[in-house]
Structure 1
Amino acid sequence: MKIYERPDFGGQMMEFMDDCPSVNDRFRYRDIHSCNVMDGYWTFYEHPNYMGRQYFMSPGEYRRFSDWAATAQLSDLSVPRWKLQNEIYERPDFGGQMMEFMDDCPSVYDRFRYRDIHFCHVMDGYWNFYEHPNYRGRQYFMSPGEYRRFSDWGGYRSTIGSFRCMRDF
């Protein structure tokens, strides 16, 4: 992945091949105005140490930061490794109704009959959860592990509208 300080791939450029917990330590400009994802899938974070809003980036050219619906100030990069399997629960600590997914879900309510996910166990793979149906709204990148509450995945509330698994790596 290459990031640029100006729109349309202008100004200073920095190339990344792996995770970077603080872009600001390597790239002297705070604002990232364009990027080129040449291979793989990446997640941008708004703040250092993988905190704040997340922006999932698939291969492609992003000429302006508005192309990925972000602010220009992004602090961290992460490159994940991928497989697929995910369990979601209606209540905390493996409680209530459970459903296992191994594919995309454009509407959690249509398949699960609930909008609130209080516990998630990502067994294999990497997933992008979205606040609204049809992959819209805030995004939450989920790597393997147990998420005992929505704040564990960076959410402000338990409502999840859709999610998709990451493929083509």
Structure 2
Amino acid sequence: MGKIIFYEDRNFQGRSYECSSECSDLTSFFHRCNSIRVESGNWILYENPNYRGHQYYLSKGEYPDFQQWMGFNDSIRSCRISPQHQGSFRIKVYEREDFRGQMMEFTEDCPNVYERFRYHDIHSCHVLDGYWMFYEEPNYRGHQYYLRPEEYKRYTDWGAMNPKIGSFRRLHYFQ
């Protein structure tokens, strides 16, 4: 199990809420989130309730303000713990939606999609093994999208507003 503490103010000040399981709606526990302490586990945080909006992946550590987790604002409204995964990783990415067009299969991190795939866009993907994080920009920057094992027929299925993916990486479990 994991443990995360949300604070309304920067530097771990103000009203706080401790969480040890996924929560689809945090709005009744705090109004804004300006700092976070992850005591155990890896967490996926979402800007909106029901696991929607901008996503952030946080591992054990202290985040004294929302810029430390690459937050766009002080809104965290839902969270889930990333499941443990220490096995193999495998993902297929496609140039077009519904698994059409050019396909490439990956088992390792990809810091620059364009260099490997020759496209800036990924319209669909199939996560066969493991948990992955897509990033809108190369070198694991920009908007983040958490993917678990399933089929994603179009980019909106993983929560993106557009198909631009610059990099992606495997999510290992760290204590």
Instruction: Confirm or deny a common fold (TM above 0.5).
Output: yes
Structure-2 residue corresponding to 1:111: 116
1:84-163 correspondence runs (5 A): 84-163=89-168
Aligned residues: 167
Q: Per-residue CA shift, 1:13-70, capped at 9, x if unaligned?
A: 2211110101123x1x210111111112111111111111111112110011221122
Q: 1:44, 1:55 within 8 Å by CA — same for their partners in 2?
A: yes
TM-score (norm 2): 0.90
Q: Deviations over 1:85-106 (max 9, x none)?
A: 2111112222122111111100
> Normalising to structure 1: TM-score of the pair?
0.93
CA contact (8 A) 2:83 2:173 kept: no
Aligned residues: percent identity? 47
> Which whole-Å CA distance do the structure 2 matches of 1:18 and 1:43 have between them?
11
After superposing the two structures, state which structure 1 stretch, 87-96 or 99-108, moved more: 87-96
Aligned residue number for residue 78 of structure 2: 76
Contact 2:95 2:119 in 1 (8 A): yes
Amino acid corresponding to residue 162 of structure 1 in structure 2: S
Output the CA distance in 2 between the equivalents of 1:142 and 1:122. 7
The question of whether the paired residues in 2 share the 8 Å contact of 1:82 and 1:125 is answered with no
Give the distance between the partners of 1:153 and 1:139, measured in 2 at CA: 10
Structure 1 residue ranges, 4+ long, deviating more than 6 angstroms after superposition: none
| Structure 2: gaps (5+ residues) | none
17, 25, 32: which one pairs with 1:14?
17
Contact 2:32-2:75 within 8 A present in 1 as well: yes
Unpaired runs of 5+ in structure 1?
A: none
Q: Following the alignment from structure 1 to structure 2, what is the Cα–Cα distance between the partners of residues 132 and 69?
A: 13
Query: Which one-letter code corresponds to 1:75 in the other structure?
Result: R
